[in-house]
Amino acid sequence: MIELTQIEKRFGDAVILKDISLSMAEGSVTALVGPSGGGKSTLLRCINLLEVPTSGSLALGPETLSFTPGQKTPWQSIQRIRRQTGMVFQNFQLFPHQTALQNVMESLVTVLGWQKEKARQHAMELLTKVGMAHKADAWPSTLSGGQQQRVAIARALAPSPRVLLCDEPTSALDPELAAEVVDVLAKLAAEGTTMVMATHDLRLASSIANRVVFLEAGRVVESGTASDIFQQPREERTRRFVASVTAAQTTGM
């Protein structure tokens, strides 16, 4: 479903990702974990080409792209990949001048060319799915962080993407509001939605991810099931990271 082969990403002389090769099956949930600056968000953004890899190859659904240093990737090819993905950002990024319903409808009307009534019906179905139908006419400024993130998830799902990409979906939220978002993501996972998420929240990763990938300094240190990584990690660096984050999250509860 998603195949990354020898992905490298450089910004000038700085190597942000190095030799990343991963496969993510359809219907799976993959959590990218690791210290800040380890490459989680960059790898996530390379999947939908918000960041174009310097070298390597990416296959998503029927599309395959190869990247070569100094060679520009055609815009049409980038768009074919992006149309298969939905992105949920850390800070929601809802349009402040649009209601919750209008935010979810926007891509359907302006990008896909749907009639407004059809878009409205689909958007309401998605708001119902994430528990936000009662706030369809609310402005983002009147919603809590958890409510805004649930609207953002509905917006990302609107064009029926093959994969939902979540960049730190709970990190801007306090624990109670984060729990609302975790519940929505868990429901989507149970329904078979393919997801890849970058997260510091080990409780989120352990509760819904089929696979966890630990990244540090732009490399994959270890990958496995959630129980493998969080309960029986093979690498000493993984053990130290899990212990430190678990202690911090327990203290913060």
- Provide the CATH number for the domain around residue 171: 3.40.50.300
Does residue 77 sit in the same domain as residue 102?
A: no
HSE-up of 195 (CA within 13 Å, CB side)? Answer: 32
pLDDT, residue 202, reads: 83
Count up the domains in the chain and report the number.
Answer: 2
pLDDT confidence of residue 55: 97
CB under 8 Å, gap of 24 or more: what pairs does 238-241 form? 238/214, 241/33, 241/34, 241/35, 241/214, 241/216
Q: What pLDDT is recorded for position 175?
A: 83
Same domain, 20 and 53: yes
In a domain, 154, yes or no: yes
Q: In the chain, at which residue ranges do the beta strands (DSSP E only) sit?
A: 2-11, 14-24, 29-33, 55-60, 63-67, 85-88, 163-167, 194-198, 211-216, 219-224
Does residue 11 form part of some domain?
A: yes
pLDDT score for 244: 83
Smallest CA-to-CA distance from 155 within 108, 117, 205 is with 108
Instruction: Give the bridge partners for 57, in sequence order.
Output: 5, 66
Q: For residue 84, what pLDDT is reported? A: 94
Domain extent at residue 155: 95-160
Residue 33 has φ and ψ, to the nearest 5°, of -125, 165
DSSP per residue, 205-221: HHHH-SEEEEEETTEEE
pLDDT score, position 49: 95
Write out residues in the chain with pLDDT < 70, as ranges.
248-253
The pLDDT of residue 250: 61
Residues 16 and 69 in one domain: yes
Q: How many CB atoms lie within 10 A of CB 115?
A: 10
pLDDT tens string 104-129: 999 999 999 999 999 999 999 999 99
Rounded to 5 degrees, what are φ and ψ at 185?
A: -65, -35
Residues 166 and 80 in one domain: yes
Q: Which position has the token pair 């994430």?
A: 130
Cα(184)–Cα(253) distance, integer angstroms:
21
Report yes or no on 181 lying in a domain.
yes
Q: pLDDT averaged over the chain?
A: 93
Query: Residue 34: inside a domain, yes or no?
Result: yes
